[in-house]
Amino acid sequence: MAEGEDLRSLLRRLEQLNEVGAALSGERDLGRLLELILDAAQTLTGADGGTLYRMMDDRQALRFVLMRTQSLGIRRGGKGETPLDFPPLPLYLADGAPNDHMVAVHAVLHDTTVVVDDAYDSTNFDFSGTRAFDQRTGYRSRSFLTVPLKNHEGEIIGVLQLINAIDPVSKSVRAFSPAEQRIAQSLSSQAAIALTNRLLIDQLERLFESFVNLINQAIDEKSPYTGGHCQRVPQLTMMLAEAAHATREGPLAAFVMTERDRYELKMAGLLHDCGKITTPVHVVDKATKLQTIYDRIATIDTRFEVLKRDAEIDALRRQLALRPVVDEKAEAAIAEDLRAQGAELEAEREFFRACNRGSEAMQLHDAERVRAIAVRRQWRNPEGVLTALLTADEIENLTIRSGTLTQAERDVINYHIVSTIRMLESLPWPRHLRNVPEYAGGHHERMDGKGYPRGLTREQMSWQARMLGIADIFEALTAVDRPYKHGMKLSQALTIMRKMCDGGHIDPDLFEVFVQSEVYLDYARQFLDASQIDG
């Protein structure tokens, strides 16, 4: 009967071991994985206590990660628990000798499982720390089972230590049985594989994120104006996504995100403008209408100076022609004519300077005045040839209706989203990131199908792509680091976006969440100047 009970108990533990293995392989959170390993080991072996160590990066010491003692209600080191503040266990002493007197270190150095029936009777290891713990708590540490955790390359990555096996019938402390040793070793093998896989995935994710940040850094170094944008839009997107996730009524009531969903959207946000790495700097940073590599208004200023100089020379020549006859009235008329010409030229130059700033929409009559001056005025170029004051390209730029970009330059800017989509769609995305190209590539689409580059309608777009669109617009309206405008106040930005809702530009349901959940205000408090927050 007892043998039958032992067999059933063993089979039950083996079933539990299989279940634990499946659970370990599916756990994505490293901290939770470590807790699962220790909790499962205690359950499968009937251990009252347990400690989990991880090998430190320099492979010179073991670091305490978790500690559990069920009978004392002690749980330390896990998420939301009291952290462990024990010093690491060095593998070697100061003189270079192996630290063999520590049982966990011995298991590492000799790659072996260590079983101790009673710590107080052991002469091979130093259990003074254990005795001090017992004296402090009234506990009695007796049996120990210490198992090294090895990865697929045979490297020891940690140690699992179990304390005080509890007899299921008498509830007394006993030594760990050979069967429990084998179960612990089997569990340690599965745990090491799961832990190694999780660490490898974490390393790959960190590498990927670092690569994404490297792209944004490259864009940032090309232009400080887009660098801040590349960082702020993902954060605003995630704030809106969390607000949508928390919504319990309306069209977004069914919208939920897992941790994987969050990570996927975060990556899409970070990569939404990666195509700007192909955009010429002088277009991205075009602060004035005549700016290319430099602001060409200075060139026009020089031409005006030439015109003023030529007018002065002409006046002096005419005055000189009156000599030797002294005609004060004629000379005064020439001087007055020169002053009038200078004033007119200076007024036209100031007019061009005002047109060049592009901070306000240009009126039709101002555009006509630019063309009229360009036709009427000529200057003598360095070759001595009379030439139109403005080139056709300069006229086109100075008469830009709104902003500082010509249509050709807007096309160059807009091409960044095409470049973004091509770059992202060329990558072999894993399954949990397969939507990144769609999310990132849709932030310039409109709900009415009039956006670019694909002219998608609202129904053809995911919620996430629509979120990115709202975040991109709000950040652009309120940004204080643009070269061509000041950041808008919240009230002005929200008014514009409300009109964009009505005009079919952005998603109205998401915008309601954006406003009702005060996502805009939370964002403003973190990223905007206090002067922009107006109610």
Per-residue pLDDT of the chain (535 residues; tens, 9 = 90+): 344 446 566 556 656 666 666 666 666 777 887 888 888 889 889 999 999 999 998 999 999 999 999 999 999 998 888 888 899 999 999 999 999 999 999 999 999 999 999 999 999 999 999 999 999 999 999 999 999 998 878 889 899 999 999 998 899 999 999 988 988 888 888 778 888 888 888 888 889 889 888 887 777 777 665 557 888 999 999 999 999 999 999 999 999 999 999 999 999 999 998 888 777 666 666 667 676 655 677 788 888 888 888 888 888 888 888 777 678 888 889 899 999 999 999 999 999 988 888 777 889 999 999 999 998 999 888 777 888 899 888 898 889 888 777 777 777 777 778 888 999 999 999 898 999 999 999 999 999 999 989 999 999 999 999 999 999 999 989 987 665 567 789 999 999 999 999 999 999 999 999 999 999 999 999 999 899 998 6
Distance CA(52)–CA(66), nearest Å, equals: 5
Q: Which of 52, 67, 42 is closest to 183 using CA atoms?
A: 42
DSSP-assigned letter for residue 443: T
Domain limits, the chain = 2-201, 223-283+409-532, 297-404
Q: Which residues contact 338 (CB under 8 A, 6 or more apart)?
A: 311, 312, 315
User: Using a CB cutoff of 8 Å and minimum separation of 24, what contacts does 452-461 make?
Assistant: 452/414, 452/417, 453/414, 453/417, 453/418, 453/421, 458/507
Contact 456, 475 (CB under 8 A): no
Q: Mind giving me the DSSP string for 229-296?
A: HHHHHHHHHHHHHHHHHH--SSTTTT----HHHHHHHHHHHHHTTGGGGGS-HHHHT--STTBSSSBT
Strand, coil or helix: 343: helix
Strand, coil or helix: 89: strand
Task: Tell me the two tokens of residue 303.
Answer: 């031409």
Q: What are phi and psi of 55, to 5 degrees?
A: -70, 135
N-terminal to C-terminal alpha carbon distance within the chain: 78
223-283+409-532 CATH fold: Hypothetical protein af1432 (1.10.3210)
Helix (H) or strand (E) holding 75: strand 74-76
CATH of domain 2-201: 3.30.450.40
DSSP-assigned letter for residue 459: G
Task: Tell me the two tokens of residue 484.
Answer: 């061509």
